Chain A
C-alpha cells in the first residue's frame, strides 16, 4: 500500500527540485520549516520524532535541503515529513505537511474487528511493521 498522509501523496514522489520550491513557498510566507521522521505510520501517530527544532531562523531553501539530506542519510528506512508552522495569532499551527521520504516497502495496516454488544464492532488499526521494535521496522539499518 501507499501511505497517503500529507498533501502530495497522490502525486509521484516529489523530486528534490520540487521539494525545494515548496520550501521556498513556506519561507516566502514567513513560516518555520520542520522535519520529522518515524517508523510508526499509524494515522493517529501525531508526534513523529523531530529532526532538531523547527528551523525558525533558516531562511534559505538550500540550507533546509541539506538538513533533509542529512536526515535522509541517518534515517534512510523511515518516513520523513516536511511541515511548516505559521505563528500568526488565531492560526498558530501547521500550514502544510507532506511526506518527503518513504520506506521502500510499505506493508500497510491490519484492521481487526472485535465483536461487541449488538452488531457493534470495535476496530483497531495496526501497522504490520510495529510488531518489530522501534528502529528495526523497515529495511536493515535498524
Chain B
C-alpha cells in the first residue's frame, strides 16, 4: 500500500565540490539534505515528520532544513565539514508528500545513518531527532509522526526489564487482562488510610493497585510510610485470596539517588513492582530499567506530561514514537489509552500504540498511523495500561479495543462503588472473567456484551450495583489525534 497522494518530485539540486564549501549561506536543499533518489539503507534510522512551513516557504526546502538541523547543518557553510565523511553524516530528506485533507502540511521522510547515534541511548537519539528543529523559524509547526528503528540499533538496547510474558509467569496470571486501580483521592490520604484502599481493592479481586503520578513524598504522607502500609495491605490481601498481588510503588523523586533509595526500600519490603513517571526523563528511565532488571522488579511507567506534546496533530511528538522509545528504554508497563475512557484516544490511533508495544513485527498500517514496518528483533513486549474513566459496564468494549495483554485500571470505577472498594473490585473481576469466558466460547461478545454482563450480575450483586451506577456513563468527545488515512476512502495509486 502506498500513500494516496503523489509525491513532490523536485529534483536534487545538491551542489558538489569546491562550490559547495564557499563561505556564506546556501539553501539546505543545495547542501545535500534533499536527496530524492536516495534509497534508505536497512540500517538507517528513518523519521517521518509532519511539517507546516511558514507561508511562502517551499516544502522541500523546509524538509531539507529539518534534515539539516537534526543532523550536521548549521545556518551557514563551514569548511570543517571537509574534515569529515560529511555526506554520510548528513541526514537526507528523500520524500515529501502533501498530507491528505490538510492544506499546508507535508509528510517529510528523512533518513539518518546509523553512525550518527550512540548505541543504547534514547537521550542521544532524541537529542538528534528532536533536539533543535522544533523551534526552527521557517516552520509554523513540526511533528514527529513515526520512526523506523533498524534492527541494528534496536539490538543495542536491553528493552523491558521483565516484559509481558515473564510478568505473567511471575504473577501466575494468564488468559485475561490484569486488573488495577489507582488509589483515590490521589492527594491527601495518610499512609494508614492509603493502605486501606490498597487492601480492600486487592482483597476484592484486583491484581494491582497503583500510586498516582503525583504521589511522591508530601507532607501528608512520607514515602516510607506509604511503602510500609502498602506492603502490609499487599501481603494481607495475598493471604486472604491465595493469589499474587502487587502495588506500584512510585519511586519518582528529585534526584536519582533518592529514586534508588526508594526503589531499594520497595525491594527490601518484597514488592514485585515499582513505578516511575515519564517526567523523570529518558536517561533516568533507562537507569531505573537497568535497576529493575538487576532486582527482579517490574517497572511501571506513568506517562505524566505526555499530553503537552503528543496530543495536537501539527506540533510535537506522536505517542507512537514515545511508545517506541519507551520499549527500547525498557519499561514493562506504560499507559497507552483506553479508547472509551475520559482521556484522549481515537480507536485506530490507540490500536497503533498498542501494536507498537506488543507485537514482534509491526506492519505498515497507515490507517493506524503506522508509517513503517518495524522489526522488534525479539525485544520483550511492553504491557499497555488503560486507565482513566473506565468502568465494568464497558468490559466488552475494552476487551474488543485493547485485547488480552493489557492492565485495565478502574480507579473511580472501583473505589466509587456504592458498596465499597472490595465490592467495586469484585464487580470488575466478575465482569472481566465472564467476558473472557464468553469470548473463548466463540460468542459475539461485543454485540452481546450488555447481556453477558447482566447474566453475570445475577450471581454477583456488586456487579449489578456497578452496572446500575455507571452503566450509561460514556465520554463521547471528538479526538484530536486521529489518523490521516482512512482505508475506505483510499484511491488505488
Measured CB to CB, the residues of A under 8 A from B are 1, 3-5, 7-12, 14, 18, 21-22, 25, 41-44, 46, 83, 89-98, 108-111, 119-121, 123, 125, 127
Contacts and interface: CB of A to CB of B under 8 A. Distances in A.
Interface in B348-381: 360, 378, 381
A11 B437 contact: yes
A3 B441 contact: no
A95 B441 contact: no
Nearest to A119: B228
A7 B172 contact: no
B239 interface: yes
Contact of A120 (B228, B433, B460): B228
A130 to B, nearest CB: 12
B243 A93 contact: no
A125 B173 contact: no
**Which of B168, B169, B174 is most buried by chain A, counting CB atoms within 10 A of its CB?**
B174
Interface of B: 165, 168-169, 172-176, 205, 228, 231-232, 235-236, 238-244, 268-270, 360, 378, 381, 426, 429-430, 433-434, 436-437, 440-442, 456, 459-460
B440 A21 contact: yes
Contacts of B239: 108-111, 125
Contact of B172 (A5, A21, A95): A5
Contacts of B442: 21, 25
Contact of B242 (A3, A83, A90): A3
B381 A97 contact: no
A90 B381 contact: yes
The main secondary structure of chain B at its interface with chain A is helix
B104 to A, nearest CB: 42
B242 A25 contact: no
B410 to A, nearest CB: 15
A1 B437 CA distance: 23
B165 A22 contact: no
Nearest to A98: B175
Contacts of A120: 228, 268-269
B174 A5 contact: no
**Which of A1, A11, A98, A121 is most buried by chain B, counting CB atoms within 10 A of its CB?**
A11
